[in-house]
Chains A and B, each alone.
Chain A
Amino acid sequence: MNAPGRLVVDLAIILLLIVGVALFRSPRRARAGNLIAAFALLCAALLAFYHEQFFALAAVLIALSVGAAVGYCVAMKVDMVRIPSMVAFQNGAGGLAACLVAFVEMSGEAASLSAANIVGGVLAIAFGGVTFSGSMIATSKLSGVLRQTPVKLPGHSILLAGLAVAAVVFGVLSGLSAPASTALLLGLIAVTLVVGVVFSIRIGGAVMPVLISFLNAGTGLAAAFCGVVIQNRFLIVCGALVGASGSILTLAMCRAMNRNLAKVLAGLDARLADVSESFFHTESAPASEPDDDRSPLDRAAEAMKDAGSVIIVPGYGMALAQAQFDVVKLARELEEAGKEVCFAIHPVAGRMPGHMNVLLAEADVDYEMLHQMDEINPRFKETDLAIVVGACDVVNPAAINVEGTPISGMPILHVHEASHIVVCNLDEKPGYSGVDNPLYQNPRAILLFDDARATIGQLSEALAAASGEAGGGE
């Protein structure tokens, strides 16, 4: 095929990919979008086989089959709570691939590389190396191999800056030595791998969505730079697309936590001195109405029975307690009792952007019942009952009322505006931010501190009993 013909075919495939991404605007079409994007990449790969003659074809085909088979099997097995860890792992694999390809291309004998190729190659190695080791740390943290809490080394920022300078030096030196010296490139890889580790270990817990989005963007850019070194349009387009998507998600996550990206990445979010402590410090147990000798469970049952509208607010604690199926069952029972029920989702609930939506979708919730923060917040005022399940920081009114805490200014779900609030958290300890939650002192709040699964089960029973009584009595 001649050059213009190839360009047309390439553009057609790229267009297909763009259509696939565009279909993600609606949940009904996203599935088709995913399949179209997959098809576009398959076409691109088949086209490569059509145009080129490969050495060691058998080995290449075996490698393809092994990668595909393992990738497919692992993807089919992983459960939805572990999706963030899996995505981080796959992301790391992509970063490693970009790093390896650029390394082979740069260190090879061929060495007819232009300046553009060399710059692209050095960047691809650097981005690939950092995202590979960074993603491996992220996946270990998310799967519980490493502890989730941020690890801060002595002089962490200085160390990181020093490593970054070393990476730049290795990068420039290997760029200047033509053909690039293998030793220098290996040095560059080693330094970037360490940078990835040092960079990622001080990010943890609730800030993980930012890290994952950031690494996602990094792998995209690594692929794009890899495309520059081998002069392949597909790699550049696809990589840049992923880079854009990762950047948008990174910024969205920062906005949802009211944090500056630079500060998150510099680990400055990790628990500032808790100025709020004296503000919230109370000797007494969580306030309950003193004249009310009924148990909290009874009061919660009463509130459920009387409520006309209910908003359920799930947090990552729900996923940890594996309570999503029980929560959805309760939601259904409330609906059957004639109440208006919906879910309020905070953008950073979970361990990656939008994670909570997937967990609830898996528990068979109609996605029209899942309302995102900006849309649902005005409705809390008119809502009779808000049920919080395993969420703390994202419903902490201190974010609005108190200056100087780590979460001040972070947008939250306005649970405190509902007429009644039932809190089904494990305990009254503060969330990841370390800021005490004044919601627990709210007289309208009914606190059920226990394993969310057990609590939700009790609420289900209480609701059944209450509606049974009501039905029998009238």
Chain B
Amino acid sequence: MIDVLYFAWVRERIGLPKEKIETGAATVADLVEELRAREERYAVAFADLSALRVAVDQELTEFDASLEGAREVAFFPPMTGG
């Protein structure tokens, strides 16, 4: 079980801020493939990975990052702080 979080327009497109997912995905990219195959709203949200950023256990990382031991994965657009 892994907590998957969505922020900003990713959250709006998928329609929820957080869900628990039972997955055997080895990497973030594998998890994205599983999500895309679920439903159209996921396919739409994950259509262009260059428009997305990912954090594993609250650390920014890349889509090829391993999910081994991960508790939390978050997907969001490029950040706009300041």
Partners in one complex: no
